């Protein structure tokens, strides 16, 4: 006899997920789904109550309605931090949780690596290496520089901790500012006009919401230092790409490291590919060996709470995005 809720593991690595969950919840009925197209039918066939879901094939085709329109799905557990591909949803009908923090340290290291790449001029050295030319090179320290953190969630705080260890001044912005460890100044979003020009590095790690869409636009770029570097590990849409292109063309910033884009995959003819001072990565700053096992462990532990009738961890408010 089946005990407890029926589970669907919606991921492109179902074998790993199935083994881990069966080890921790062997008595449950668990079904794998490794495609977007097949999710709706499997939910209907199994009357699934709980779906663990990873956005593994982009946002545009994600089967949001299969999850939110289902009369049986009560809980969607997102195997990452971002939930903009699901919103909006009615929290009275379905609970959405995320795995916030599962990649915070890795994303912080990505951002720090990008900062060091620009301060050390590594791309310029690589270009001369390919040409086999010896130049009179110089490097620049990041110690003493100022980092502006847009978002002080787990990723922002992980980066702030590393930045302080390297001697940077840290400015942070969040919806409800409070004193934060390793952040020298915490501000509300309304303070941004006075903060852009103080920063040498600007790291964007906020969720995509109505309040953050287009947050970094023409006015922001106009206020930045010409030596500023933008690092975006948030979601496509927080940075206005047209304004970014204009800033790059006008030399208004030093460069950018971009892991997220309004359209993903980034089209082959997109102009962002052509800039020597832009690092383009394929939305992978949170993807590292073992990340999904860690996210599944978090889900399995939360599933134990669900079965005991306890409050879930990581419940996302659809209005706030976290």
| pLDDT per residue of the chain (322 residues) written in tens, 0 to 9 | 347 899 999 999 899 899 999 999 999 999 999 999 999 999 999 999 999 999 998 888 999 999 999 999 999 999 999 999 998 999 999 999 999 999 999 999 999 999 999 999 999 999 999 999 999 999 999 999 999 999 999 999 999 999 999 999 999 999 999 999 999 999 999 999 999 999 999 999 999 988 999 999 999 999 999 999 999 999 999 999 999 999 999 999 999 999 999 999 999 999 999 999 999 999 999 999 999 999 999 999 999 999 999 999 999 999 888 8
User: Measured between alpha carbons, how far is 174 from 106 in angstroms, rounded to an integer?
Assistant: 21
Q: Active site residue: 162, 240, 283, 292, which one? A: 283
Q: Active site residue: 10, 154, 235, 252, which one? A: 235
| Contact in structure between 63 and 36 (CB atoms under 8 Å) | yes
| Contact in structure between 74 and 95 (CB atoms under 8 Å) | yes
Q: Active site residue: 264, 270, 293, 307, which one? A: 264
Task: Give the DSSP per-residue string, 217-277.
Answer: -HHHHHHS-TT-EEEE-S-TTSB-HHHHHHHHHTT-SSEEEES--SSSSPPTT-GGGG-TT
264 is catalytic: yes
User: Measured between alpha carbons, how far is 242 from 224 in angstroms, rounded to an integer?
Assistant: 16
- The whole model's pTM is what? 0.91
Domains of the chain: 7-102+288-308 (3.40.50.720), 104-280 (3.40.50.720)
270 is catalytic: no
């Amino acid at each position: 006899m089946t005990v407890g809720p029926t589970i669907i593991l919606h991921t492109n690595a179902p074998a790993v997920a199935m083994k881990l969950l069966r080890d921790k919840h062997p008595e449950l009925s668990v079904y794998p789904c490794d495609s977007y197209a097949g999710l709706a039918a499997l939910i209907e066939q199994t009357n699934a109550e709980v779906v663990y879901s990873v956005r593994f094939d982009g946002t545009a085709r994600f089967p949001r309605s299969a999850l939110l329109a289902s009369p049986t799905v009560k809980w969607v557990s997102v195997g990452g931090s971002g939930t903009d591909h699901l919103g909006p949803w009615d929290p009275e009908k379905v609970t959405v949780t995320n795995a916030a923090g599962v990649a915070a340290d890795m994303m912080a290291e990505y951002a720090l690596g990008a900062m060091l790449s620009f301060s050390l001029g590594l791309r310029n050295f690589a270009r001369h290496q390919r040409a086999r030319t010896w130049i009179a090179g110089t490097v620049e320290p990041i110690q003493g520089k100022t980092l502006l953190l847009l978002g002080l969630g787990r990723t922002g705080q992980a980066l702030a901790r590393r930045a302080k260890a390297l001697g940077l001044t840290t400015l942070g912005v969040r919806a409800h500012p409070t004193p934060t460890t390793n952040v020298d100044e915490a501000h509300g979003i309304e303070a941004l006009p006075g903060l852009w020009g103080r920063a040498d590095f600007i790291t964007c790690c906020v969720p995509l919401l109505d309040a953050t869409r287009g947050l970094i636009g023409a006015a922001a770029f106009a206020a930045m230092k010409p030596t500023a570097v933008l690092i975006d590990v948030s979601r496509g849409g927080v940075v206005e790409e047209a304004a970014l292109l204009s800033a790059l063309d006008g030399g208004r910033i030093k460069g950018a490291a971009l892991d997220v884009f309004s359209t993903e995959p980034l089209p082959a003819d997109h102009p962002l590919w052509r800039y020597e001072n832009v690092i383009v990565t394929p939305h992978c700053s949170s993807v590292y060996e073992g990340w999904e096992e860690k996210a599944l462990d978090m889900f399995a532990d939360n599933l134990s709470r669900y079965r005991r009738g306890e409050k879930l961890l990581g419940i996302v408010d659809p209005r706030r995005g976290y």
